Amino acid sequence: MVTDIQNVPAVPALTRKDFVPTCEVRWCPGCGDYAILSSLQRTFPELGVPRENFAIISGIGCSSRFPFYMDTYGFHTIHGRAPSVATGVKVANPDLSVWVITGDGDGLSIGGNHLLHLLRRNLNINVLLFNNRIYGLTKGQYSPTSPVGTKTKTSPTGSVENPLNPVLFALGAEATFVARTVDNNPKHMVETFKAAHEHQGISFVEIFQNCVIFNDSTWESIYGKENREDQMLFLEAGKPLLFGKDKSKGIRLNGLTPEIVDAATAAPGEILIHQPDHPSPLYSQLLATMGPEFPTPMGVIRKIEKPTYESLVAAQTDATVAKKGTGTWQELLQGDSTWTVA
Amino acid sequence: MTQPTHAFHEMKSVVVRFAGDSGDGMQIVGERFTDTSVTVPNSIATFPDFPAEIRAPVGTIGGVSAFQVHFGSNQVLTPGDEPDALVAMNPAALAVHLCDLAKGGLLVVNSAAFTEENLKMAGFATNPLDDPSLSEKYTLISLDITGLALESLKDTTLTNREKLRCKNFFALGFMYWVYSRPIEPTIDYINSKWAKKMPGLADANIRVLKAGYFLGETSETTRNRYMVARADVAPGVYRKISGNEATALGLIAASKRSGRDLFFAGYPITPATSVMETLNNYKHFGVKTLQVEDEIAAIGVAIGGSYAGKLGCTATSGPGMCLKGEFIGLAITTELPLVIVNVQRGGPSTGLPTKTEQSDLFQALYGRHGESPLPVVAANSPSDCFMAAFEAARIAIQYSTPVILLTDGYLANGSEPWLIPDESTLPDISRPFADESQPYVAFKRDPETLARTQAIPGQVGLEHRIGGIEKNEKGAISYDPENHSIMTGLRAAKVAGIAKSLPPLEVNGARKGKVLVIGWGGTYGAITSAVNSLHAEGFEVSCTHLRHLNPLPSDLGELIKGFDKILVPELNNGQLSLIIRANYLVDTISMNKIMGRPFKVSEIREHILKLITA
């Protein structure tokens, strides 16, 4: 679409401050949520969306307090059910930029079903899932993403549950945009949030988030200073999968099995090129399921284009109006068949 | 052709029940008989009664499906207590329904279906048609319906299976002759439905229909032929409408009168599903209908729609209501308009999913945690679901609150003629959103109604947060003990104050006397018929029927004081009765029935008579 710059109404540019409300933020000091909040407050002014068109919808949990800390329209709903409220908001008013804020418990345990269906329907909604692998608000019980053996007050001898991989879950639901970022890298968070916003369709972003009180340093083995270069694989579309100090290592495929190779000695074309838009979900699933000896993929893992749910709903309405005209009182009340008693 | 010589018996009203296997097309036949009778016109009411299983094994008791239609020249308010005529297409249908047939009633059976195997499945040791007492007690007409239907189709190219499927129209044609109904409306219906797509099938059904009709005319099968005169009904334009259709249309009408598009989300559940199915045909009325993943999501999506400025609505039945409880609490505390339709069925749990009950009143009033009052409205009859839905939406918007509309399976599936209202009689129920030129205070209240004003996403400068945690007037989270007490009180006072907007109670009979019958919901027809029949016999009794269960009408207490005895008939174990006792300290008399079936007029009559003569 060509925009006539002359005719664009002058909208005062928004700044981060426009999104900071007067109320006090009440997360624990040192919580990873602060960095996510600040990154989103930095992202929103850059999206070209009028402030009144943002709606932030959350469920219950530490992360779900988020709407109160953003000076936009916000709805703090009930545990696990934010996806359904967000669906209603978006279909009712597709002009809104709708953001669902959820956590590993809210989104994947009590609300797993709603999240599944939100993802598969492909509404143009952005879902930020704060994954701290613990229940924070209820004071430290294991969550559906806690590793086997996690010791908590409800699993004093260690959790026996197989943890859920949020990215794999989203890919399984065939979400059209799936990404991952970390709470200690504001620049990467802003980039990822912007990409999520730009994507027309459902955008699912898993954020590795630290719970300083109940699960401190849970992601340290991945994103700690000592480990991050070897343990994180920053993805860029069209670029080879390289990681490690000075990008010295790469990932290639041996059959359907990924292998780590020395980037310097790899043959040309041997190292996999990142293709988030590959039509088959297999490549993204392979990235999401690489074992512990591999680095964790960060950034946009999958991004494909499909029509959004709300646009299909609107198109059906338009088609019906085109065929039948706008409904009248007579049509509503009389229906197909009447009789008259004189 | 022999000229029909039979004399007509003139009847004021007749109840016909068609019963057969759930694959026998009894619902279609019942519907056709109804549609034909409304055009006479007769006053009419119907009661479809079908099994929960879509297709239970053929010929079994569990697979019996029935459709009862009551038509008359007088006022017909219920589908009738006991059928005057029963059509039984197989032994199982006879086994289930014969006990209801009036003594001397017309019994038409399909003798071909009385095979050894079918008799066994229906639990008959011997063929009841061979028992002479059957024709002593009833006017028995045993017809080889299957054979006659096949015979009339012998020169068609249909398969045997297709031919057999036409046999229900033979029974229908025969009953049209017995009750001197025109067959043309059914021919038109068959043509409009099948002539284009399946002309062979249309032709076959018409042939079989006519064969059934002509059998009556040409044979000496029965000398009994009945005539029900035109009903003296109010002039105007009518349509036939079922309860769930009326609910859907009432919601759309409310959407038009409020200026808010209807935003419906639902999950299929018997007997509420057809509300959602109906709404899906009204996209060009601005209606959005979303089928979502579960009952919880359905109300969540509707709340999202309301939050964004639409008229949010969901419909379900008892089990779904249980799942929606937490979200209803959220809608109460965030004070968002929302209509929740509960089409009640037999409970608890899966209970009797296709049968009717009024046992969710307590759930509607109290089925949430916390102090969480909300308005509850009930519909009286299938067509009344229209105004009840409109009223629920009026309260939801004017008072910015979720509202529960109670209907039931009996109303939902039953249908009756509806005198189509003039839309100008439907009031404007619009309410503006917040003024963008003023600072927004989320829980500032209208001094008259105590309703808050919504600001919706997209409104400039009114950004604010709402949610489940207790807020103060400004909309800020507040754990202040005083504030919680004040806000709880305000929410309750808002709901209680709705009583000020209600019209005075309508009373059938004197406003003072010995016996007052108080009803609510789908028992209206049975109670009114019972009271009217007693009035006709000179007895003094009054009745009133509650549209609003919360808040109760402010003149109910005064009305109760004028009577010695208060009878409360309900299809539950005395829920309204307990509420009236608690509110007015009166020793009500409960009359209860929990059988998945509506009251018979005679049951209520007898109870009232006992009280009058006591």
Q: What is the per-residue pLDDT for A342? A: 79
The pLDDT-based confidence of A1 (bands split at 50, 70, 90) is: very low
- Closest partner residue to A52 among B421, B457, B465, by Cβ? B457
B contact test, residue of A93, A119, A310 with most B CBs within 10 A = A93
Q: What is the per-residue pLDDT for B393? A: 98
pLDDT in tens, B366-397: 999 999 999 999 999 999 999 999 999 999 99
Chain A residues within 8 A of B261 when measuring between CB atoms: 92
Asked if pLDDT for residue A4 goes beyond 60, the answer is no
Q: What is the DSSP string of B324-339?
A: HHHHHHHHHHHT--EE
Summary mean pLDDT of chain B? 94
Residue B49 CB partners (closer than 8 Å, separation 6+): B65, B66, B67, B68, B354, B355
Residue B165: what are its φ and ψ, rounded to 5°?
Answer: -70, -15
B contact test, residue of A19, A79, A337 with most B CBs within 10 A = A337
Beta bridge partners of A181: A207
Chain B residues within 8 A of A317 when measuring between CB atoms: 283-284, 286, 288
Q: What is the per-residue pLDDT for B5? A: 43
Chain B residues within 8 A of A21 when measuring between CB atoms: 465
**Which residue carries 């020169």 as its tokens?**
B155
Give the closest residue to B112 by CA, choosing from B77, B155, B142.
Answer: B142
B contact test, residue of A77, A312, A326 with most B CBs within 10 A = A77
Give the closest residue to B111 by CA, choosing from B140, B144, B88.
Answer: B144
Q: What is the per-residue pLDDT for A11? A: 61
pLDDT in tens, B272-281: 999 999 999 9
Which structural domains are found in chain A, ordered by start?
A: 13-235+282-317 (3.40.50.970), 240-273 (no CATH)
Beta strands per DSSP E along A5-84: 54-58, 73-76
Q: What is the per-residue pLDDT for B1? A: 35
pLDDT in tens, B514-538: 999 999 999 999 999 999 999 999 9
Let me know: does B342 contact B404? Beta carbons within 8 Å: yes
Whether A96 sits inside 8 A of B458 (CB atoms) is: yes
Let me know: does B189 contact A336? Beta carbons within 8 Å: no
The pLDDT-based confidence of A114 (bands split at 50, 70, 90) is: very high
Which structural domains are found in chain B, ordered by start?
A: 8-228 (3.40.920.10), 239-425 (3.40.50.970), 513-613 (3.40.50.920)
Q: What is the per-residue pLDDT for B4? A: 41
pLDDT in tens, A24-41: 899 999 999 999 999 999
Separation CA B86–CA B225 (nearest Å):
15
Asked if pLDDT for residue B551 goes beyond 90, the answer is yes
Q: What is the per-residue pLDDT for B222? A: 57
Asked if pLDDT for residue A5 goes beyond 80, the answer is no
The pLDDT-based confidence of B227 (bands split at 50, 70, 90) is: confident
Q: Is 0.85 exceeded by the ipTM?
A: yes
pLDDT in tens, A180-228: 999 999 999 999 999 999 999 999 999 999 999 999 999 999 999 999 9
The pLDDT-based confidence of A56 (bands split at 50, 70, 90) is: very high
Record the pTM. 0.92
pLDDT in tens, A252-300: 999 999 999 999 999 989 999 999 999 888 999 999 999 999 999 999 9
Asked if pLDDT for residue B54 goes beyond 80, the answer is no
Whether B457 sits inside 8 A of A89 (CB atoms) is: yes
Lowest-confidence region among B6-20, B97-111, B420-434: B6-20
Q: What share of chain B is helix, strand, coil (3-state, %, to 5)?
A: 40, 20, 35
Separation CA A198–CA B32 (nearest Å):
56
- Average pLDDT for B210-225: 80
